[in-house]
Amino acid sequence: VRTWSPARAGRVNSSHRACLIARFGFIYARERLDAETILRAYICDMETVQRIIYIAAVESFCAAKMAFWKIKVNVKQTLALDHMGPESLEVAALDYIAHHKDLYNVCQSVQEVVCSMNANPKIPYPPDVDFFLIRTLIRELCCLAFSMQTLIPPLDIALGVDGEVFSKTKYFRSCDSDFTVPFVAYHVWPPLMENGSVIVKGEAVTKR
């Protein structure tokens, strides 16, 4: 029988957190580059390709967090009927969702992300480009973002704004950046955050 204790919950949360952070790095190093390769077959401009992938990452986190919120509301309502502790109802709901990932319809989130990208005015893309081409990247990001919401505290990404002052604590500069320019031209990958602090840097391009 699995027993609950604050110490055990902390160890489980810490281990799960480390795995999710590592996965975020793997997606950046592998699936992101795979998506770049796919899009480059249709789009010659590398900046456009990188902008598309960044927007895909942001939209994936947004879709997954919204799906998680809806599921958590339903789970808490169900568990509240006979919840006796010892953990709080909030912790019990997070634990339940973490162990029942099949509650999450990731395919629906992927469709929502693609629809949002199709309507995004910041993406100048040819009509023959179908963003379902990079559904593997989107799916992995959605699953990761969803799992990150089961942590205490949850992990999230920071949203960047074109033209913002470049922050060394939040981003690495891309190799083709102008290192004398203090402003971000566009973002390549978002930083990972925990309670407002950067735990994994993102990537940005600085150009005149």
The DSSP-derived string for the chain is -----HHHHHHHHHHHHHHHHHHHHHIIIIIHHHHHHHHHTT---HHHHHHHHHHHHHHHHHHHHHHHHHHHHHHHHHHTTT---SS-HHHHHHHHHHH-GGG--HHHHHHHHHHHHHT-TT----TT--GGGGHHHHHHHHHHHHHHTTSSSPEEEPPP-TTPBP-TTTEEEPTTS-TT--B-SEEEEPPEEETTEEEE-EEEE---
What are the φ and ψ backbone dihedral angles of 23, each rounded to 5 degrees? Answer: -65, -35
Residues 162 and 148 in one domain: no
**28 close to 167: Cβ distance less than 8 angstroms:** no
The pLDDT assigned to 127 comes to 64
Nearest of 32, 21, 2, 45 to residue 151 by alpha carbon: 21
Share of the chain above pLDDT 70, in %: 92
How far is it, in rounded angstroms, from Cα 65 to Cα 174? Answer: 28
Bridge-based pairing state of the strands 186-189 and 171-173: unpaired
Residues 143 and 191 in one domain: no
pLDDT of residue 104 exceeding 60: yes
Q: How confident is the model at residue 24 (pLDDT cuts 50, 70, 90)?
A: very high
- Does some domain include residue 3? no
The pLDDT assigned to 6 comes to 53
Residues 29 and 99 in one domain: yes
Mean pLDDT of the region 151-175: 95
How far is it, in rounded angstroms, from Cα 48 to Cα 41? Answer: 13
Residues 181 and 123 in one domain: no
Q: Which two tokens stand for residue 207?
A: 């150009």
Residues 96 and 173 in one domain: no
Query: Domain count of the chain?
Result: 2
Residues 186 and 148 in one domain: no
Residue type for position 23:
R
Q: What is the pLDDT of residues 125-140, one digit of tens each?
A: 666 789 999 999 999 9
Residues 167 and 107 in one domain: no
Q: What is the pLDDT of residues 68-96, one digit of tens each?
A: 999 999 999 998 888 776 788 888 999 99
What mean pLDDT value characterizes the chain?
A: 91
Range of the domain at 164: 158-207
Nearest of 170, 189, 168, 180 to residue 208 by alpha carbon: 180
pLDDT of residue 5 exceeding 80: no
How far is it, in rounded angstroms, from Cα 76 to Cα 109? Answer: 22
